[in-house]
Structures are given as C-alpha cells and as structure tokens.
A and B are shown apart, each in its own frame.
Chain A
Amino acid sequence: MVRVVLLREEQILDLAYEGPAQGLLPLVGYSVETAVVLCNGVPIEEEDEVGEGDEVRILPVVSGG
C-alpha cells in the first residue's frame, strides 16, 4: 500500500500501487503539470518509483486566483 496525502483536499488515501509516481497522479486527479510530488518528505521526479510503505504527498501546482 502507498499512503497518498492530498494536501489541498485534506484527504489521505491508501492505494495498492507500485510504479512510477506519474502513474499515480491521474488516479488522484492530478497530472505531471499540476502536481509536485514528495515521497517520504522529499521531492522526487515523477519517473521515480513509489510503492509499499511510502508516503506520497501531492502539492497542487495551481493555486491563487
């Protein structure tokens, strides 16, 4: 299980996912252009693998007016 923390939505999801972070983004309503991904508190490239036991935090890129 990957724990996904959606910061704007204030939601925490546990998903059965193993693979590159960019594959996870559409599953939670984001894309490479609209999210910055942190894995276990550290920014990662979207091509980096995430999987069992990781906490992935999704920061929305679009904000403000």
Chain B
Amino acid sequence: MQCSCGRKAVYHRRYSGQHLCARCFRRMVEKKFMETVRSNGFIAHTDTVACGVSGGKDSLVLLHLLHGLQKKVRFSLFALAIDEGIAGYRDRSLPYVTKACETLGVPLHVRSFKESFGYALDEVTAMKERVGACSYCGVFRRSLLNSASRELGATKLALGHNLDDESQVILMNMLRGDFARFGRMGTYRKHVNDQFVPRIKPLREIPEKEIVLYAVLAGIDFDFEECPYAPEAFRDEVRQFLNTTEEGHPGTKHALLRTYDKLYPFLNEALQPSVLPSCERCGEPSIRPLCKKCELLDAIRDGLARDDQS
C-alpha cells in the first residue's frame, strides 16, 4: 500500500485506517507527543524535567523526543536511571542509557535499590516467603524516582508509559476493584505535597508498537529484552487479553483511555486528597502513616531474618 503522500507505506495504523510511509509515520508520532504535552500543559520554560530511563524503547524514545522539544521550549532536562539489581537484565540495558545520553548530551544520574534501600531486587526475590517481584519493584522504583528527582532539582518527572501501559493499568485496577488507585491514575492537577514531583506521561496516547517502529526508524538503539519477572505479573494476562481484543477490534486501547480521561475529572474531584500526608518514617508522600516502601522494607528485614534462622 501507499501512504497518502505517494511513498511506500511501512505502517498500517489499523485504528484509523491510515497507511503511513516512514516519514509521515515519524511526523505522526512526533505530532501526537507534542499534542499530549501541549494539551496537558506538561512542560513550561521554567521546568527542570527528570526523564526516567531504563534502556528500553519507551524511555529512550521519550528522551529523544524531549531532547528535540528543548529546541522549542527552553526547559532543563536530565535522565534518571534506576538499577533494581536484576542480574542479566538491568546490567544489560543500562549501557543503552549511557550511550543515548552521551549521544544527545543529556546528563545522566543512576540510583540503585542496593544503595538506596540496602537490597537488590534479586536478593529480595530469593526470600522463601515473598509477594510478587513486581510488587516490591514497582513501589521501590516509584519511591526512588520521586525522591531522586526531587533531590536533583526536578520540577517534573517524565515517564515513558505508552498507550498499552495505560490501558493495561486502567483494566487491572478495575478488575482488582481498586477504586482508590483507579482514581489516582490521571495526570496530577492539584498540588498535594511539597515532596511529590508531578509525573508526566507524554507517550500515553501512543501504542507500544508505534514506539518500537519509531525507535527503529529514528535509529534509536534499545534493549528489547523483557524483565525476567514480567511473566509473574497479572499485567501479562491483561496485556494478552487487550492485544487479542485490539486485533479483532482496532481502537480498543484508545477507547479505554478516552473513557478513563472522560471519567478522570470526576474521579479526581471525588478521590484525590487535597493534601497528601507524608510517611512518618521516611517523609515521602504517603496516604497512610507508614508508606508502602517502609512497610515492604520491614517485611523484607523480617523475611530475611527468618530465612537465616531456618
């Protein structure tokens, strides 16, 4: 098939019926990124943006697009990588981050679970009694991204969540009946805690597949490995369901996100606290007196002590 410009198409955008050549495809992705940034007021001239990077396609495409945006909006940008301590995975992907940052001239900061919390993820998952790896990882990563961004002077934390990630989380929270978390998914609009760095997701309307193709066409080198703990997660089942549904009914993922976005102002009003308290122990933002990170660290300490005794 041919693109409307006459060139050979490289991508069939099923949810809109368009066939796009390489040039029009890249423009379409860049336009969608810009629209999302503009319509949500994500970035201003005065901002210092921390871009969470892992070495995967989402975060490196995001870094690339944010770097390009600096030509139009004069904000400050740095990259922030988290080393969870997953042998054979994160040590393999971090060199992609280093290379991208060197190429673009973006400062890079790396923080690790081991240095920040005392444990690498692999040590935690070796415990006899444990919850899913993603439960530890998600909580620790969010906490460390927030605290490190703040300490490094960021006013926004940009994350590479794509349309697939967003639609999966919407569905997961619904299926779990987790209404409180369901109501906190949107873009933060209220200032609720001085310690909280607002998160922005400029790729939230771009499907995962388009991110991969964009990376290929833009010559962005990335790690395409999957986290070894990913098959443990409920998300994997939801992803398979959504991909099967999208194939039969193109546009399903967009429809899910659009529905959520229409609901969000009501959810935000009803569920978002006007003030988000701080954890009594570590001072990080937390709805409960003791934040989830501190709670999990206590459980790990107890679990490892039990393992030593047995």
Contact = CB atoms under 8 A, between A and B. Distances in A.
Interface of A: 7-8, 31-34, 36, 38, 42-47, 59-65
B234 interface: no
Among the interface residues A38, A62, A65, which one has the most CB atoms of the partner chain B within 10 A?
Answer: A65
Instruction: Tell me what chain A mostly uses at the interface: helix, strand, loop, or mixed.
Output: loop
Interface string B227-253: 101100000000100011011000000
Given A8-B225, A33-B246, A62-B239, A43 B230 contact: no
A20 B226 CA distance: 27
B12 interface: yes
A61 B246 CA distance: 14
Interface in B194-211: 208-209
Q: How large is the interface on B (under 10, 10 to 19, 20 to 34, 35 or more residues)?
A: 20 to 34
Given A33-B246, A36-B209, A45 B224 contact: no
Contacts of B213: 36, 43
B208 A61 contact: yes
A65 B209 contact: no
A17 B56 CA distance: 32
A64 to B, nearest CB: 4
Given A47-B1, A60-B224, A64-B227, A42 B10 contact: yes
Contacts of A62: 208, 226, 239
Contact of B216 (A33, A38, A46): A38
B10 A44 contact: yes
B185 interface: no
B229 A65 contact: yes
B166 interface: no
Contact of A63 (B10, B14, B225, B247): B225
